Amino acid sequence: MGGASALGRPTFVLAGIALIAVAAASYFGFSSVSAGSFDARVRAYLLSHPEVVLEMQDALAARATARQAAALRPLLAAHHAELFQDARDGAVGPADAKATMVVFIDYQCSHCKGEAAPFVAELLQQTPNLRVVFKELPIFGAASRQAARAALGAAQQGRYFDYFRHLMASPQVNAATIDTALRDSRADLAAAHAFAGLAATDGHVDDNVRLAHTLGITGTPAFVIGDTVVLGTDEQRLRDLVNQATR
């Protein structure tokens, strides 16, 4: 998964220490102790309770995540139809499913292959009331874009998910493995290539890239369910969100 949080561990640790220092000053009464005594007490406390800094780091991270989620909600609402109802996308699951999950993928993304693909397949098997919409987001170059266009060619024939599973299982993505995935998915090879070569197909991929960037998604895999974006395959969080949406 590309990208990283805006605040890394060192920043959180420094912020935590600063907050502990302020709290300690209030607790001990800074005016009643010397600076040296105050420093010594704070240091002793941190050495005896290092878990406090990590707890504060988690709390700060949770607040940052909540702020990011709140900022995203209006964008997700504004682009709801593009995300969940674009008939051009590959999709699996009943059209009248109780919940729909969107996943942005790249066929050369190791996390998509090793984590997202098997997780999505398992989730679909376990959740009859779930529909998954696949957004092609080729961020790893020409081969990724070729695979994305071929995926849309397979989708036109109703063979998207078979193609997805076969190519995600392939250690390499190139013209030969793309054709193998198309054949193994029982797609018409000539028709898939013809559709993949259309300017409209390339435009569809471009639309997905623009949508991802609008939502701040710069890496794969990325999931959207309801008004929540999940970066990376956080299985427990995704299961919780799906369970809430399908109740």
Which of the two residues, 112 and 72, has the higher pLDDT score? 112
The answer to the question of residue 76 being in a domain is: no
The answer to the question of residue 29 being in a domain is: yes
What is the distance between the alpha carbons of residues 54 and 38, in angstroms, rounded to a whole number? Answer: 22
pLDDT digits (tens, 9 = 90+) for 199-218: 999 999 999 999 999 999 99
Q: Does pTM surpass 0.85?
A: no
Across the beta sheet with 222-225, the strand order is: 90-92, 130-136, 99-105, 222-225, 228-231
- Confidence at residue 37, expressed as pLDDT on a 0 to 100 scale: 73
The mean-pLDDT minimum among 100-104, 118-122, 176-180, 227-231 falls in 227-231
- Confidence at residue 56, expressed as pLDDT on a 0 to 100 scale: 67
Indicate if the pLDDT at residue 136 is higher than 60: yes
Residues 221, 168: one domain?
A: yes
Residues 99, 22: one domain?
A: no
DSSP 34-85: -HHHHHHHHHHHHHH-THHHHHHHHHHHHHHHHHHHHHHHHHHHHTHHHHH-
DSSP 111-141: HIIIIIHHHHHHHHHH-TTEEEEEEE---S-
What is the distance between the alpha carbons of residues 94 and 209, in angstroms, rounded to a whole number? Answer: 26
Structurally, how many domains does the chain consist of?
2
Indicate if the pLDDT at residue 50 is higher than 50: yes
Residues 162, 122: one domain?
A: yes
Q: Token pair of 49, please?
A: 């309770």
Asked if 227 contacts 73 with a C-beta cutoff of 8 angstroms, the reply is yes
The answer to the question of residue 1 being in a domain is: no
**Dihedrals φ, ψ of 4, to 5°?**
-150, 165
Percent of the chain with pLDDT over 70: 77
How does residue 224 score in pLDDT terms, banded at 50, 70 and 90? very high
- Confidence at residue 36, expressed as pLDDT on a 0 to 100 scale: 65
For 80-105, what is the mean pLDDT?
Answer: 96
CB atoms within 10 A of CB 222: 26
Range of the domain at 44: 9-71
Residues 90, 192: one domain?
A: yes
Residues 188, 229: one domain?
A: yes
pLDDT digits (tens, 9 = 90+) for 2-48: 433 333 444 445 545 555 555 555 544 544 556 567 677 777 777 78
Q: Token pair of 156, please?
A: 């036109």
CATH number of the domain that residue 175 is part of: 3.40.30.10
